[in-house]
Chain A
Amino acid sequence: MGVHVKTTVNGDEVEFTCAEDEVLLDVLRNRLGLTGAKEGCGTGDCGACSVILDGRLVCSCLVLGAEMQGKKVETIEGMAVGQKLHPLQQHFIDGAALQCGVCTPGFLMAADALLRKNPNPTEEEIRFGLAGNLCRCTGYDKIVRAVQAAAKEMRG
């Protein structure tokens, strides 16, 4: 019983054994000690578990750990490089784009995925790009502004 998986997480080679029906979110949180991705719903509706899989934004509660064999997983824990925060992370802090912060890792992943595809998004493109992530505290105002500010800084 159990599936043995070799994969890459945040640039590190990682090996684990998981149940066939175990979702990636539970693998990250319970086996790899990466609790940045959160379970807000378990059904792919809230985006709090968002990670980037082979360059694509996914809900880790909708993907199986067993599917990770040979793939590249990026989580919130890999966003900062050493002590240097990613511009998105810095702007979220500076722009007060988080209150309770539980949705923040998911939003940062989603915003990162968006800006990789579209470095100069309009306000509407940002809002639709982040529509898969729920926030109950902020009303999204400061989140959108922080993404705009980070995008501007990243365009140089």
Chain B
Amino acid sequence: MEWQSWVISTGSFMLAYGTPLLLATLGEIYAERAGVLNLGIEGMMIMGAYSAFVTAYVTQNPWIGLVVAASVGAGFSLIHAFASITLRANQVVSGLALTLLGLGLSGVLGRAWGGLPLPQTLPEITVPGLSRIPILGPMLFDGHSLLIYLTLLLVPVMWFILFKTRIGITIRAVGEDPATADSLGIHVRLVRYACVAVGGLLSGVAGGYLSVAYRPAWTEGMTAGMGWIVVALTIFAFWNPIYGMIGALLFAALYHLSFRLQPWLAPELLRALPYLFAILVLVFVSRGTLQRRMGAPAALTIPYARGEE
């Protein structure tokens, strides 16, 4: 039956393409909750993609590739942290600079690696038993990499930490009212540094997933604007990991469904659609009073210095 294979392919793509978006969105949610906007996601992702591919190629082990991508992403994000937290530079510009730097650096370093086939990609697993369930089985439990399930598992964990633990309260306090947090003895800069690093780490893994699992190869500029879509998804998610998951998966499904327009729409215009969707999701959440109620962290993009402003 045609509709079944259609549903299965959409659901399957939703997980495969939504996972890197989700990973990076989760990270950005933490960074922004602590009050630091990081527009360098595209740069961190592409550095992650590059370093994961090279490591996986050399070591023949994609998992080591992901670990290296995570550390490269985290390390790379610290440049932004230093500029925007310690030097109190403009966060928008610093993030843009990080993206420029990442795209440039990966382009320069990756020149020799383009077009090589990856001998060992992230293994795809089939969950015994569950994969036999009609429709849901082949959609959710067949031929996906383990990282996808780990990412989905991360969602409730990161939600719980953010909203139900002391660590989460600390992070949110720093993003809402750093001066008060400071007076309560919270080390504002340290918390911000840590959250930016978490964001970088997850962006790095997201990029790594692209180059060792999703499309196992290295191509210059292969993130193709995904990092910016993540920034939009973070807003769409109201800085909440659960909504972040819904947003990332919905976005991926929408992207996949847009291919159904193929008979009516030229391929170039089809490729423009995801970028329009990113604007569209923001239009969608801008309606109503929701945003005012669950709005952005109050101190987002505002640097903190004790005893000033």
A complexed with B: no
